[in-house]
Amino acid sequence: MTIHREGYKTIAAGVLVFALVNLPSFYFISEHDLWLSGLIFIVTLFLLLFLVSFFRIPKRKLTSGEGLVICPADGKVVVIEEVYEEEYFKDKRLQVSIFMSPANVHQNRNPVGGEVVYNKYHKGKYLVAWNPKSSTENERQTFVIRNANGEVLAKQIAGALAKRIVNYLMVGQKVEQSAEMGFIKFGSRVDVLLPIGSQIRVQLNQSVQGGVTILGELP
């Protein structure tokens, strides 16, 4: 396991806060109330370890395959439905949405390989990520990857806690399937929109792994 580069500054700040809280606690509180000082240490250590775990990148055997669409994020499948996609395709698509809790790995990966033909950032609200309106009203980054099998659109969507979407893709860039494409800090969601006729290989409430679980097959 390694730590994502997006977490270096945040973790450093967490270590500083941990030290600033516990050093005074050790020198001024522990002498009079050892239990309180110990409780402060345990709580702040738990928060620091949670912060470190949020930016973890576990070692995995990544999945790839012609015509396959791979889950771009860890989390739980919360939506499988036919929708009208109004930003790029302007027609009906099959949408699969993955909700990422703060405990999930938040590194995002390319669902397919190919050429990035569209990439746009949208300012927006910070509704809870499982709210259906979050797909169109929240802060989000929309991108489309095209290959010989067609085009797949995905959205990185900020949630109530997520305040920063990081996307490394550029229009015209050639990308590999399951390679890193971005990161979202704290609870959030990723939508994937596939052509009608695609075979969905996941189920509602299923836990999935980014870069590993097969989300579907293109028609």
Residue 96 belongs to some domain of the structure? yes
Residue pLDDT, tens place only, 72-98: 999 999 999 999 999 999 999 999 999
Task: Specify whether 22 is located in the same domain as 84.
Answer: no
pLDDT in tens, 30-52: 778 888 888 999 999 999 998 89
Q: Please state the φ and ψ torsions of residue 106, each to the nearest 5 degrees.
A: -110, 10
Please give the Cα distance from 34 to 88 (Å, whole number): 61
3-state secondary structure of 46: helix
Q: What is the DSSP string of 121-181?
A: EE--B---TTSTTHHHHB-EEEEEEEETTEEEEEEEEE-SS---EEE---TT-EE-TTSEE
pTM for the model stands at 0.86
Each residue's pLDDT tens digit, 123-164: 876 666 555 555 666 789 999 999 999 999 999 998 766 567
Q: Say if 62 falls within a structural domain.
A: no
- Note whether 46 and 74 are same-domain residues: no
Q: Identify the residue whose tokens are 């994502």.
A: 4
Assigned domain for 40 exists: yes
Residues 74 and 161 in one domain: yes
Q: Name which residue leads in pLDDT, 199 or 158.
A: 199
Rounded to whole angstroms, the Cα distance separating 8 from 14 reads 10
Structure tokens at 2: 């390694």
Using the 3D structure, point to which of 15, 36, 57 is the last residue of a domain: 57
Same domain, 132 and 203: yes
* Judgement on whether residues 74 and 43 belong to the same structural domain of the protein: no
Catalytic annotation, residues: 188
Both 102 and 151 in one domain: the answer is yes
Instruction: Show the domain range for 15.
Output: 2-57
Q: Is 63 part of any domain?
A: no
User: Does one domain contain both 106 and 188?
Assistant: yes
**Domains contained in the chain, number:** 2
- Say if residues 168 and 141 touch (Cβ distance below 8 Å): no
- Indicate whether 100 and 195 sit together in one domain: yes
One domain for residues 192 and 92 = yes
Confirm if 83 and 92 have CB atoms less than 8 A apart: yes
Q: Are 177 and 121 in the same domain? A: yes
Q: Flag whether 198 is in a domain.
A: yes
Is 31 domain-assigned? yes
